[in-house]
Chains A and B, each alone.
Chain A
Amino acid sequence: MTINILDEIKRDYVRDLAMHGGRTDGRAMDAFRPISVEPGVITSAEGSARVKLGKSQVIAGIKLGVGSPFPDRPKEGVLSTNAEFLPLASPSFESGPPSELSIELARVVDRGIRSANAVDIASLLIDEDTEGKSKVWAVYIDLYVLDHDGNLQDAAGLAAMSAILNVQMPKYEDGKLTLEEKTGPLPSQATAVSCTFGKIGNAILVDPSYEEEVSLDARITMATIPGHICACQKTGMGSFKLEEIDSCMQIALKKGDELRALLKQ
């Protein structure tokens, strides 16, 4: 547990402001920071995107391979999501094995994508073989956190989704994978994006910045597709009331539509 003294001092200010409906950067309680989405920033990847959410920055890279399905899902492709909190993103990120924060972030992004079939793993079977030698596409989503200024969860989710939509599938023929030849987009049934809320006292704010994040009681992330919720995760030591979850879901659906519009451009 490292305690950053500046965070400690700012905490009272941030909390007091939030409980009076204000935010340190002057945003409305339900406003995201400015977002930029740049698909295709890494040409060596089959799909990629860089997302800037305020000063937070995440790159998603997607590589495709051909592999064997999981034994209990013999007709489905393999989807694997991983996050790296690079030491250059924050003084509190250390190199070494993945932290619980990066594992959780990747798993929550994965949950939204999987639930929504944003990567349609059911249509990623290449060769069916009754003797257990089936071939399927393996989709590896890697989330690289470059700069941490809060709400990495939504930045990473947006980067992952933008990269999915950016994928050009390589060619696979006669047991040979040719990465240079492209055959079309990755099958996707829906566009999943997430909206994260911070709770300070009784105040609930959208897209917490870094200084808000360190002042929070609790956080909740809700991934959506149009009209539906497709993943949730509450984090942090505080709690939510049922009515608060209800109102967050409505905001998440509305914000989700705004975020999806950004991905269409």
Chain B
Amino acid sequence: MVGGATTKELIVNGKRLDGRALDELRPIKIEASVLNKADGSAYVEWGKNKVIAGVFGPRECFPRRDVNPYRATLRCRYRMSPFATSDHGRSGPNRRSTELSKVIREAFEGVVLREQFPKTAIDVTVEVLQADGGTRCASLVAVSTALADAGIPMKDLVSAVAVGKINGKLALDLTGVEDNFGDSDIPVAITGRNKEIVLFQMDGVLLPEQISQALKMASAANEHIHALQVDALKLVYESKQAQGGARTGAASEED
């Protein structure tokens, strides 16, 4: 976070502490259809982040006050496990997770074709099992893949990555340490084909040109992440086809 008096050398000889270049992503692994009961699911390993998302719905919407007569109600819950960081976290919602749940939901509200399922609910849960900076972006990537895995019609897939400023330089995909000692953090979620920015947050002190530059870096990196999402979905789809259209990979293995 910002405003700290603490500083740390985060770039040595042009490389970051984990050996990456400034515009390099951490290794990302995406797997779709990892849960049995959920209508769609995805697991994302992103550096040391481990995130799992599950989607239920469209299904009947309870309580009544959540019902929208024109379109499906999208509900999203982002949580971090108590064992996800070095300190034991409190379970249950907190102010941070409430805000992140909201911005993640809003990133998808305009992307999911909710008009096709009026009066229903689509429930999205994303659990951060292990955290090392950039969990909201990893969560967005997992949610997007899980929604597609559930067969819910969407205008586009959503990819996300954060750009930050460390030791005065813009850097892609900050780790937890880089975020703690960095000067700025800018998570960005962009749709794959139309390059619409559906999530954008920023802290720290930056010139407008630096923010534009950060958005361009995020946009370029998101093309790579988008391709990984497509690959993960294709893999599941092709294996389902080979097995005669069983609904989920996990279920068909048990059968």
Q: Chain A interface (Cβ within 8 Å of chain B)?
A: 1-3, 73, 75-76, 98, 100, 103-104, 106-107, 111, 114-117, 121-122, 217-218, 220, 225, 227-242, 245-246, 249-250, 253
Contact = CB atoms under 8 A, between A and B. Distances in A.
B195 A115 contact: no
Contact of B203 (A73, A231, A235, A253): A231
B51 to A, nearest CB: 21
B223 interface: no
Given A1-B65, A236-B106, A239-B110, A76 B205 contact: no
Nearest 9 Cβ contacts at the A-B interface: A237-B109, A239-B196, A232-B202, A249-B208, A237-B110, A234-B200, A122-B5, A115-B2, A239-B198
21 contacts: A1-B73, A104-B103, A111-B203, A114-B203, A115-B184, A117-B3, A122-B3, A122-B5, A218-B110, A227-B207, A230-B204, A231-B202, A232-B186, A233-B200, A235-B102, A237-B109, A242-B212, A242-B216, A245-B197, A249-B208, A249-B212
Nearest to B197: A240
B228 interface: no
A107 B195 CA distance: 27
Given A1-B65, A76-B4, A115 B204 contact: yes
Nearest to A106: B95
A103 B102 CA distance: 10
Given A122-B5, A220-B200, A239-B196, A228 B106 contact: no
A220 B106 CA distance: 12
Given A111-B203, A115-B204, A250-B208, A239 B98 contact: no
Given A1-B67, A76-B5, A230 B205 contact: yes
B203 A239 contact: no
A121 B5 CA distance: 9
Nearest to B183: A115
Interface of B: 1-6, 65-69, 73, 95-96, 98-99, 101-103, 106, 109-110, 184, 186, 191, 195-208, 211-212, 215-216, 219
A62 to B, nearest CB: 17
Given A76-B4, A239-B197, A249-B208, A104 B203 contact: no
B103 A235 contact: yes
A261 B212 CA distance: 27
Given A107-B99, A117-B3, A249-B211, A237 B106 contact: yes
A236 to B, nearest CB: 6
A245 B197 CA distance: 9
Contacts of B103: 104, 233-235
B208 A253 contact: yes
Contacts of A218: 110
A2 B254 CA distance: 43
